[in-house]
Amino acid sequence: MTAPSHLALVPFISVDNMMRFVLHVGLERILTELASEIEADFRRWESFDKTPRVASHSDVGVIELMPTSDGEFYGFKYVNGHPKNMQAGLQTVTAFGVLADVATGYPLLLSEMTILTALRTAATSAMAAKHLAPKGAHTMAMIGNGAQSEFQALAFRALCGIEHVRLYDIDPAATRKCAANLEGTGLRITPCKSAEAAMEGAQIITTCTADKQCATILTDNMVGSGVHINAIGGDCPGKTELHRDILLRSDIFVEYTPQTRIEGEIQQLDADHPVTELWRVIAGQAPGRTGAKQITLFDGVGFAIEDFAALRYVHARVKGTSFVQNLDMIADPDDPRDLYGMLMRAKG
């Protein structure tokens, strides 16, 4: 048999290699560099193909594909969301992704994206807050202390200068886990016994809960003027975290409006309720925070361009390193028309 060509060998980043790569580069450096890549792609937002993610819903969760292309590269992510998995000792969210060459259609990278999604979600949150949060914000409430919480806290420290994180989760064990993991990071950590207590003195409020239901994590009376809300837990139809009245008092910023209308907090509002796409703020086409008393709300559900940027980033960073291995994934006959002959020759 002929050895496969370099195009047939697809670079693959395993979970182990992704962890090694992150620890080698440094978590906060990667969060900062990822945010920069995502922001750069938001600045050229109009050059991308865009579509709401393709979702298959069930009573217990959702499985989704998130595709996009800039004409040179094509990327997609496979991701699930199954809140009850945790009861069986499984991850609520798992993911993998592919980056491909538009000119040939050949894949350039296959990567784990469970860890990478946590990184890009945190980087996107902090990037949005950099444009929307009150100046000089130093305290963040982190409501929901699951798998995403530490990444969020460290991203806000790295990009926004957050010094103090106040934690709350309905499961005290999750709060203890988060507080222990963040010990020694330079952040001041305060575990709290209620969402209201966590929000005391916080200029930024992050909500990141997992239940697939219309929940009211924050009620209207809990939210004072001048704060920035980073609402990232609602990410599918029928799943929200904020009372509708909070939305009516806030200036709302989203990733891709057609998707967020289906999945985000704004599914509670009329279809013509005004929102601003974040890319327009980043590109200087729309204002972000305009006043000290303004409530800004980033209704973040995750969008394919963020995953595309993350895949491009790791593809460039791991090329030629020990953090990537090649997989013989693409059939590569000597004669492209003779796939059958290639199969038969494998007998010998």
Give tens-digit pLDDT for 219-239: 889 999 999 999 998 666 777
Tally Cβ neighbours within 10 Å of residue 324.
23
Residues 6+ apart with CB under 8 A from 101: 72, 73, 74, 107, 108
Residue 162 has pLDDT above 50, yes or no: yes
Structural domains of the chain, with CATH: 9-115+305-345 (3.30.1780.10), 125-302 (3.40.50.720)
**What is the predicted pLDDT for the residue at 213?**
59
Mean pLDDT of 117-135: 97
Residue 308 has pLDDT above 80, yes or no: yes
Tens digit of pLDDT for each residue in 191-211? Answer: 999 999 999 999 999 999 866
Residue 5 has pLDDT above 80, yes or no: no
Mean pLDDT of 258-279: 95
* C-alpha dihedral, 202 to 177 to 112 to 101, nearest 10°: 10
**What is the predicted pLDDT for the residue at 148?**
93
Mean pLDDT for the chain? 94
**What is the predicted pLDDT for the residue at 174?**
96
Residues 6+ apart with CB under 8 A from 108: 10, 11, 73, 99, 100, 101, 315
- Residue 239: DSSP 8-state: B
Residues belonging to the active site: 235
H or E element at residue 42: helix 27-43
Give the least confident one: 143-152, 234-243, 262-271: 234-243
- 212 pLDDT tier (thresholds 50, 70, 90): low
**What is the predicted pLDDT for the residue at 211?**
61
Mean pLDDT of 81-88: 88
Question: Whole-angstrom Cα distance, residue 3 to residue 5?
Answer: 6
Instruction: Please state, for a pLDDT cut of 70, what percent of the chain lies above it.
Output: 95
**What is the predicted pLDDT for the residue at 6?**
64
**Given the structure tokens 């303004």, which residue do they identify?**
294
- 29 pLDDT tier (thresholds 50, 70, 90): very high
